Amino acid sequence: MVLLLARRLTQAALILLGVAAITFVLLYALPADPAVLLAGRNATPQTVANIRHQLGLDLPLPVQFWNYIVHLLQGDLGRSFNQKTAVAPLILARLPATLTLMAAGIAIEVMIGLTLGVIAAVRRDGAIDRLVMTLSFVGVSTPQFLVALLLLYVFAATLGWFPMSGYGTPAHLVLPAFTLGILGAGWYARIVRSAMIDVLGQDYVRTAHAKGVPAARVVLRHALPNALLPVIAMIGIDIGQFMSGAVVVEAVFGWPGIGQLAWQAIQQVDIPIIMGVTLVSALAIVLGNLLADLIAPFIDPRIRAG
Amino acid sequence: MSPGSLLRGVARRPVLALALAVIIGVFACALLAPLLAPYAPDDQMFDGLSLDGAPLPPSAQFLLGTDTLGRDLLSRLIYGARTSLLIGLVANGTAVMIGLAVGVIAGYFSGLLGGVLMRFTDLMTAFPALLLAIVLAALLKPSLWIVAMVIAMVNWVQVARIGYTETRSLAERDFILAERAMGAGNLRILTRHILPHLVPTAIVWGTLGIATTVLLEATLSFLGIGVQPPQPSWGNIVFESQSYFQSAPWLVFFPGAAILATALSFNLVGDALRDLIDPTQRGRD
Amino acid sequence: MTAPVLSVEGLCVDARTPQGARRVLHDVSFALNAGETLCLAGESGSGKSVTSLAIMRLLAKSSLRVAAGAIKLGGQDLLALPESAMRRLRGGDVAMIFQEPMTSLNPVMSIGAQLTEAIRIHQGAQDAPARARDMLDAVRITDPARRLAQFPHELSGGMRQRVMIAMALSCRPRVLIADEPTTALDVTVQAQILTLMRELKGEFGTSIILITHDMGVVAEMADRVAILQGGRIIEQAGVVPLFTAPREDYTRTLLAAVPRLGARAGEDGPPRVTTISPPTPPPGESPVLFVRDLAVTYRAHGKWFGGGSALKAVDNVSFELRRGRTLGLVGESGSGKSTTGKAVLGLIPFAGEVALDGVPIAGLSTREMRPLRRKAQMIFQDPYASLDPRMPVAAAIAEPLAIHGIGTASERRERAAELLRRVGLSPDHGSRYPHEFSGGQRQRICIARALALEPRLIVADESVAALDVSVRARVLDLMLELQETMGLAYLFISHDMAVIERMCHDVAVMRAGRIVEAGSRRAVFEAPADAYTRELMAAVPVPDPTRRPGVPLIPE
Amino acid sequence: QAQGGDIVVTYKDDIATLDPAIGYDWQNWSIIKSLFSRLMDYTPGTPDLVPSLAESFTVSPDGLTYTFKLRKGVKFSNGRVVVPADVKYSIERAVDPKTQGPGAGFFGAIAGFDDFAAGKATGLAGIETPDTETVVFKLSRPDATFLHVLAINFASIVPKEAVEAAAGDFGKKPVGSGTFVLKDWVIGQKLVFARNPDYFVKGVPHIDSFTIEIGQEPLVALLRLQKGEVDIAGDGIPPAKFLEISKSPDAKDLIVDGQQLHTGYVTLNTKIKPFDNVKVRQALNMAINKERLVRIVNGRATPANQPLPPAMPGYDTAYKGYAYDVAKAKALLKEAGYADGFSTVLYSTNTDPQPRIAQAIQQDLAAVGVKAEIKALAQSNVIAAGGTEGEAPMIWSGGMAWIADFPDPSNFYGPILGCAGAVQGGWNWSWYCNEDLQKRAVAADSMSDPSKSAERVEAWKKIFVDVMADAPWIPVFNERRVVAKSKRMGGEPNIYVDPTRVINYDAIFVKP
Ligand SMILES: Nc1ncnc2c1ncn2[C@@H]1O[C@H](COP(=O)(O)OP(=O)(O)OP(=O)(O)O)[C@@H](O)[C@H]1O
Ligand SMILES: Nc1ncnc2c1ncn2[C@@H]1O[C@H](COP(=O)(O)OP(=O)(O)OP(=O)(O)O)[C@@H](O)[C@H]1O
Ligand SMILES: [Mg+2]
Ligand SMILES: [Mg+2]
Ligand code: NI
């Protein structure tokens, strides 16, 4: 197990290196020249060349990449072109907000999704089932922006239950987390329903009934764990999606997360920030997936982790 | 099953019949757009805007209202069906297929091959799709096929992870051991005995994915790699208009409803097809 | 006489099929008195399991439905009871042991969790873990404390069955329905379990419905016997009258077909069933299966950093099997029989030397194994688990042919139909799915599948255990016939000594992963050298209710 | 005007930096203006230059020497008095290549600039500090805009010790002598500015503090503004909300609407066929229905016919430009040999309403037979395409259009219409270079004698009219800036849409 963990961590490091390399190459492929953008409208070619040189953008790509990696290994993510300050603090400052929103969003979508999915599976082909299935489609078919604004209008602007914007208190978290949760719940509901229907038809569920286990317990204790594997995998995926992808929700609710930073950096071709955000979210994703893979054998002991 | 009994089977399920009708309708729109649309999709009509430049609500002249440039929304939706169908079916379908293939292979060959594939999947998950999109936008001539390709490249990853987990669990079951004992090759086990079990998953992703990819297309087009204005797609109509949801709700509602109805219909038909192919799965998702 | 504890009146059950309802139980009626053991015996697929599930109200809702009748428990009609009330009865008042142990245990819950749950629910006991361990002790599982933390897939088939029994007995039910409870058990344990059930009955007045195809068990356990055939009860009588004076022809066949241990004393091989003279293998020919120093180690899964402990399931096993011969592998549950069977076909990693038809298989790739697979087939211990639930059985039977590219699609279909017929099923069963069959029927499907390729070696793991005697006799004859005509070799794993006696040339007795005694069947059976072998022989039930061990007959 | 009040301003994007030598976007532009002071400044709401940190100044007759007397006793917020050496240090810092500042080029007229910029000197020889209150600038050529240059942000005065103490992070820890000081900066969330109690003009500023909340979606900011949570929505009113707000009864309290020094235009790349043909360029100038474009932006603009905006000195009110005339446009195209039109590409940024405007232009072009394919991209990609030779035939400038750095016509020529900008990475996206006009532009900028300023303006007026004869642009409209503010905020529109600093934090106030 320890060996396995060590191996997976090495792999994780390699993945990060791979991500860094690809990102680097892609950024180079961009025709937009950060120096030109920085130099601004009034710049002379001299200024542009100057800035390019200062940023080291005139070095050959492999050299730049090598320099980047060397700095990275010293824990240095470089300095933002646009903000003229170290990247690491910019990302770190936003990390707690991102992680909070991610955790809350995933918790809510899993909770809603599991509940609806299980109910739909138990009442399969009934009216509730149809309703849940239709709702799950409504959920995934609605753009984030709309849901976020709608929630904001109703619960913050009109009812005044929650603050419209900001970060810091649990009250601030509710609406953004629910936006993510409502939108993602459809996936979970579907996946859980599908897996649960399979499981509920298994012999061991019949055994549980035969033992006189209360219906709710049969569903929750006997059937649900057997249907959890895809859910775990899905959570691993969502970590990635929310890490830098909650741009819209962050924007609507003024949530100071990494998504906004990433979005701006991409617009401004602020390469060090893009690299930094990419690496941090890659790290989160890799760790998330690693965790999912490590948890899987505990949920289904038939899977050998070795 | 004969075509006759099939028809009768459909007729007995009105919801299914409705779903089929929606799908046929959408295909008809895509194929016959010039015949069906009341106006040209990119005609910015003078009387399509109010005097201070506001879009017009549905009326007898413009059945679904007009957009912020004074174009007929209905006509744009009809033409938009082409783009959106292609994205929803081809791009999403490809993503699901690649994802299943990778997931199943990685889950089944848990050794080196599986490890490498899954790490590759991790790498792709960790890689910012947006960046890829922007780079492609800058390098390539925007086209629908490129969006389709990017969507496929981005979305397969998720399907792969789910497929991988399910396969790992399946591969430990006795009947797979039995297949091996009979001498079944890996290919056969994968295609005949593991893939069929993933059909429900494929249906979930394939149909829920229709809605999400249609919306994703809009984001990618916004970044410049997909269809460019004035070519309509359902996604970009919603996307462009979402901030107008209060001042011109019809601009968001109708394309949104089109996406929802199409995705839902494909799901219903997908379920029905699966029941037909695999009766043990009746009622499963 | 007091009112019966449980009575079934005019029970009819329909199966839902695409062609409409098919009746699988016709007007079944019987009564179970307090402290009585009623045996349901009969053909495989005759409706025994369906009857018991109907009593529990656990018929698969999507495919089976009670069409008529009443089931009364102490005057209460179970069929009219609300689900919540029924639930309280289940497990506590009426408990059930299911036929297929692998699929009946929850794969993601530890044995301990599954056992204590029942105890907690019905008795609210604080000491549930301790009682769970006691129950495991009671069903004679080795190392019960460790088993509590294990998961079903880590146990042998017999152990799983014992866990099922422990679970059902843990709450001392008023009525116990046991569907083939000892099918997968070796005879010594079977004897212990039967004794346990008898004790339970004596101690708590539990009434038992025992479903079994083993007339030996019937004779040993039953007070009364009901014989089912084709979904009908054709005969119902006290055990002694039934054995001594059966009324129905079918009952008579059933009794006549019971193999009795010692029936073939003094003879070397199995009986001849054809007139073809078996080919004598040339002396230099390499054995079909050659095994030397085989060892298999399972790595039990440990906690994250704890590391797993290793279990040597098979150790130092050597034997060889020649063309046209049958080697019987017997031994207590968990002794490593199935593991050996899987290892010699290269299905699980092993150490040591294994050669199939002279070709060493260690380290062969899937592709290299393929030609060998055609020559060697396996019938798995758990038939349900080894069938793809999403494949119609005809396709499953034709599967090996398709894999090896034999024949056209229609030829394969024909062959599948033919094989179905030969194992006593009707070819139009072919379009059904595994879950629509009875346990015995599934077993026959697996046998048919193994025979499809006409291999040279079959590893048969408890492959006739779930078959009623008449069908079993037919299947065994079929296997013998194939051996005589084609020189098939069998590695025959069974707990049923009578079957071993009938089928085998040689016998190896396993215990704790090692072979403790091996030799010709005659030598081992007639002069067992090892103490354990002797114990095995003694524990075989005798199909004669008047020669019941221990417990005296309860007078009617 | 009332004193006091704490107000909240919102922006969507991060404040990149508050370093005056670096900051060059329209968000930090107005903040930097208030954090620091410069030798020169403008009367709030006008383009009129006034001395600020300088008490007085003199210009030599040849226009090559500027002598400034500093105000006495002005203190940086760290408590130290501002001395002439700070002026020299600050401007050298803005020019120093190590600073990577985008504003270096503005100071090109100072003697010694070329050596310093090329790294051959360690400072600007042209700046002298003869005593404790005097700064002298020696120019290498006359520069009529020099006083404006000393009023732009890059000429802000900073204390050397604070820059050095910040160790490269001055942009996050600014110290100046402006009207406000930075009190708190929570990354990604907000910046708090408090009034500078020691500011050298009494009674300025009016508000006690302002907080900038960032990461705020404009639509939501507006909603918060209507609820009174926000005082100024910095990103303005999104198109989707404009009509609703402007028609609401509160509109006059919530909206301020002002002219800015801005023109929206379409560049016609003179190096790409067929735009190398002046007739084609003129024809297209006649093909665009600007009235309709104005309607699409809900009337928030006025049609334009020349590069300069009306508020800019040098705007020619007599010039009528190319009138909208489809028939004439077609005729011209036919003359140029494009009777059947041609195909081309029109670039635009991708944020509403720019793609819509591009589509409207596209439709107008289609009417004269020109098939323009639209490429709506992120701003950085459009800028990249514009600055690459032979890449972008037409660019709709909306969203990144030119807003003057200072209110002088020269600022509308050099980088965007002059030869210097027609280079790789430049901003002259028409790649238009008329040597004759270039010479006249240089000449006009040399007329630094204040008495000749009217003549100079006249010269510029002609230059721009002549530019239009070559038609490298289609001037489309002059967009007005619309700012949303809460009801309690007071002040004329021109301090919310100040021509030189957008929001003038020094001048706005909270109504009592
Ligand atoms: N997958 C597994 N992981 C860990 N241990 C296992 C696994 N499968 C079997 N074992 C252990 O190996 C031993 C031998 O099991 P095996 O299945 O070969 O027994 P068997 O002789 O076939 O018994 P039975 O007659 O009950 O089927 C048992 O102790 C069992 O618990
Ligand atoms: N779910 C089902 N759907 C349809 N038919 C079924 C289903 N389950 C059982 N049957 C059919 O009902 C009949 C009775 O089955 P049952 O399981 O009761 O047999 P059994 O007497 O228990 O046989 P065995 O000894 O082989 O277990 C069989 O013909 C079987 O094929
Ligand atoms: Mg049965
Ligand atoms: Mg076994
Ligand atoms: Ni492990």
DSSP letters of C495-513? Answer: S-HHHHHHH-SEEEEEETT
Separation between Cα atoms, residue D189 and residue B191, nearest integer Å: 53
User: Which of ligand 1's atoms lies nearest the C-alpha of C336?
Assistant: 18
Q: Which of the residue ranges C279-283, C422-426, D185-189 would you say has the lowest mean pLDDT? A: C279-283
Measure the N-to-C terminal CA separation of chain A; round to a whole number of Å. 7
C310 lines ligand 1 (CB under 6 A): no
Separation between Cα atoms, residue C387 and residue C397, nearest integer Å: 10
Which of these, C451, C537, C546, C545, lies nearest to C191 by C-alpha position? C537
Residue with tokens 């009777």: D339
- Tell which one of C110, C148, C338 to mutate to probe ligand 1, the residue whose CB is within 8 A of the most ligand atoms: C338
Q: Yes or no: say if D21 and D91 are a contact pair by the CB < 8 Å rule.
A: no
- Could you tell me the pLDDT band of residue B278, with boundaries at 50, 70 and 90? low
Q: Which amino acid is at C289?
A: L
Model pLDDT for residues D112-170, shown as the tens digit of each residue: 998 988 888 889 999 999 998 999 999 998 888 899 999 999 999 999 999 999 988 89
In chain D, which residue's Cα lies nearest the Cα of A248? D217
SS3 of residue D326 by DSSP: helix
Handedness of CA C471, C472, C473, C479 (dihedral sign): positive
Assess whether pLDDT exceeds 50 at residue D502: yes
In chain A, which residue's Cα lies nearest the Cα of B166? A230
Ligand closest to CA C433: 2
Query: Is A135's Cβ below 8 Å from some Cβ in D?
Result: no
SS3 of residue C329 by DSSP: strand
- Could you tell me the pLDDT band of residue C384, with boundaries at 50, 70 and 90? confident
User: Which of ligand 1's atoms lies nearest the C-alpha of C495?
Assistant: 25
Separation between Cα atoms, residue C171 and residue C200, nearest integer Å: 11
- Tell which one of C428, C441, C468, C470 to mutate to probe ligand 2, the residue whose CB is within 8 A of the most ligand atoms: C441
Extract long-range pairs of D430-439: CB within 8 Å, 24+ residues apart: D430/D267, D430/D268, D430/D269, D430/D270, D430/D472, D430/D473, D431/D269, D431/D270, D431/D271, D431/D389, D432/D270, D432/D467, D432/D470, D432/D472, D434/D466, D434/D467, D434/D470, D437/D463, D437/D466, D437/D467
For residue B46, the model assigns a pLDDT of 84
Instruction: Report the separation in Å between the CA atom of C46 and the middle of ligand 2, taken as the mean of its atom positions.
Output: 7
In this complex, which chains have at least 3 CB pairs below 8 Å with chain B?
Answer: A, C, D
Q: Yes or no: say if B128 and A281 are a contact pair by the CB < 8 Å rule.
A: yes
Separation between Cα atoms, residue C158 and residue C434, nearest integer Å: 22
Exposure of C432 in the CB half-sphere (CA atoms within 13 A) = 19
Residue from B166, B172, B174, B276 whose CB has the most chain C CBs within 10 Å, to mutate:
B174
b/e map B53-84, b = 16+ CB within 10 Å: bbbbeeeeebebbbbbbbbbbbbbbbbbbbbb
Strand partners, D42: D49
Residues 6+ apart with CB under 8 A from D192: D182, D183, D184, D185, D209, D210, D211, D212
Determine the CATH number of domain C262-276+283-299+310-375+455-539.
3.40.50.300
Separation between Cα atoms, residue D253 and residue D245, nearest integer Å: 11
- Strands (E) in C104-211, as ranges, are 175-179, 207-211
Model pLDDT for residues D430-456, shown as the tens digit of each residue: 999 999 999 999 888 888 877 888 889
SS3 of residue C424 by DSSP: coil
Q: Yes or no: say if C30 and C51 are a contact pair by the CB < 8 Å rule.
A: no
Assess whether pLDDT exceeds 50 at residue B282: no
Residues of D in contact with B223 (CB under 8 A): 350, 377-378
Query: Is D295's Cβ below 8 Å from some Cβ in B?
Result: yes
- Average pLDDT on C116-123 reads 82
Instruction: Report the separation in Å between the CA atom of C308 and the middle of ligand 5, taken as the mean of its atom positions.
Output: 7
In chain C, which residue's Cα lies nearest the Cα of B198? C390
Separation between Cα atoms, residue B182 and residue C549, nearest integer Å: 44
Assess whether pLDDT exceeds 90 at residue C22: no
Between 1.20.140.10, 2.40.50.1020, 3.40.640.10, 3.40.50.300, what CATH number should domain C6-257 receive? Answer: 3.40.50.300
Residues 6+ apart with CB under 8 A from D138: D64, D65, D110, D111, D125, D126, D127, D128
Average pLDDT of the residues of chain A: 85
Shortest distance, CA B283 to any CA of chain C (angstroms): 10
- Could you tell me the pLDDT band of residue C273, with boundaries at 50, 70 and 90? low
Tokens at A179, concatenated: 């936006």
Residue B115: is it exposed, middle or buried by C-beta count within 10 angstroms (0-12/13-18/19+)? middle
Shortest distance, CA B84 to any CA of chain A (angstroms): 13
Shortest distance, CA C271 to any CA of chain B (angstroms): 29
Q: Which of the residue ranges C88-92, C133-137, C160-164, C280-284 would you say has the lowest mean pLDDT? A: C280-284
Tokens at C266, concatenated: 């003094």
Separation between Cα atoms, residue D375 and residue C287, nearest integer Å: 76
Q: Which of the residue ranges B31-45, C522-536, D306-320, D330-344 would you say has the lowest mean pLDDT? A: C522-536
Cβ–Cβ pairs < 8 A, chains A and C: 100
Model pLDDT for residues C511-530, shown as the tens digit of each residue: 888 999 998 888 888 888 88
Model pLDDT for residues C198-255, shown as the tens digit of each residue: 877 777 778 899 998 778 888 888 899 999 988 899 999 988 888 888 888 888 887 8
Q: How does DSSP assign D212-267, residue by residue?
A: EE-S--HHHHHHHHHHTS-SEETT---HHHHHHHHHSTTHHHHEEEEE-SB-EEEE
Separation between Cα atoms, residue C407 and residue C397, nearest integer Å: 14
Assess whether pLDDT exceeds 60 at residue A305: no
**Chain D, window 213-272: residues with a beta carbon less than 8 angstroms from a chain B beta carbon:** 219, 238-241, 243-244
Separation between Cα atoms, residue C522 and residue C524, nearest integer Å: 6
Residue D203: is it exposed, middle or buried by C-beta count within 10 angstroms (0-12/13-18/19+)? exposed
Q: How does DSSP assign A162-193, residue by residue?
A: S-SS--SSHHHHHHHHHHHHHHHHHHHHHHHH
Assess whether pLDDT exceeds 60 at residue C135: yes
Rg (CA), chain A: 24
Which of these, C419, C413, C541, lies nearest to C475 by C-alpha position? C419
Residue from C53, C59, C63, C106 whose CB has the most chain A CBs within 10 Å, to mutate:
C106
Separation between Cα atoms, residue D88 and residue D125, nearest integer Å: 10
Peptide bond into C270 cis (omega under 30): no
The ranges assigned to domains in chain C are 6-257, 262-276+283-299+310-375+455-539, 394-454
DSSP code for C269: S
Q: Yes or no: say if D445 and D299 are a contact pair by the CB < 8 Å rule.
A: no
C52 lines ligand 2 (CB under 6 A): no
- Average pLDDT on D368-380 reads 89
Domains by residue range for chain A, with CATH:
2-73 (no CATH), 95-305 (1.10.3720.10)
More confident residue, D135 or C304: D135
Model pLDDT for residues D351-366, shown as the tens digit of each residue: 888 999 999 999 999 9
Residue with tokens 């692998």: C102
Helix segments in C4-150, DSSP class H = 48-56, 83-89, 101-104, 111-123, 128-138, 144-148
Separation between Cα atoms, residue D84 and residue D53, nearest integer Å: 11
Q: Yes or no: say if D445 and D459 are a contact pair by the CB < 8 Å rule.
A: no
Separation between Cα atoms, residue D196 and residue D76, nearest integer Å: 10
- Average pLDDT on D242-263 reads 85
Number of C-beta neighbours around residue A230 at 10 A: 24
Q: Do D376 and B222 touch (CB under 8 A)?
A: yes
Separation between Cα atoms, residue B264 and residue D40, nearest integer Å: 66
For residue C13, the model assigns a pLDDT of 93
Q: How far is CA A86 from CA A89, A278, D320, in A?
A: 6, 16, 52
Architecture per CATH, domain B3-40+62-281, reads as Orthogonal Bundle (1.10)
Query: What ipTM was estimated for this complex?
Result: 0.84
- Tell which one of C311, C340, C514, C536 to mutate to probe ligand 1, the residue whose CB is within 8 A of the most ligand atoms: C311
- Average pLDDT on B155-178 reads 87
- Strands (E) in chain B, as ranges, are none
Q: Yes or no: say if D346 and D372 are a contact pair by the CB < 8 Å rule.
A: yes
In chain D, which residue's Cα lies nearest the Cα of B70? D296
Question: What percent of chain D is modeled with pLDDT above 90?
Answer: 51
Model pLDDT for residues B110-145, shown as the tens digit of each residue: 778 888 888 888 888 777 777 777 777 777 777 888
Q: Which of the residue ranges A26-30, A157-161, C430-434, D507-511 would you say has the lowest mean pLDDT? A: A26-30
For residue C274, the model assigns a pLDDT of 64
Separation between Cα atoms, residue D255 and residue B106, nearest integer Å: 60
Q: How far is CA B158 from CA A19, B118, B122, D206, in A?
A: 17, 11, 10, 56
SS3 of residue D311 by DSSP: coil
Which of these, B172, D204, C143, D418, lies nearest to A302 by C-alpha position? B172
What is the 3-state composition of chain C as percent helix, strand, coil, each rounded to the nearest 5? Answer: 40, 25, 35
Residues of B in contact with C102 (CB under 8 A): 174
C98 lines ligand 2 (CB under 6 A): no
Q: Which amino acid is at D392?
A: A
Q: Yes or no: say if A164 and D229 are a contact pair by the CB < 8 Å rule.
A: yes
In chain B, which residue's Cα lies nearest the Cα of C450? B182
Tokens at A127, concatenated: 């009216």
Helices C439-451, C393-403: axis angle to 10 degrees equals 20
- Could you tell me the pLDDT band of residue C554, with boundaries at 50, 70 and 90? very low
Residue from D11, D14, D191 whose CB has the most chain A CBs within 10 Å, to mutate:
D14
Ligand closest to CA A4: 5
Model pLDDT for residues D277-320, shown as the tens digit of each residue: 999 999 999 999 999 999 988 888 999 999 999 988 889 999 99
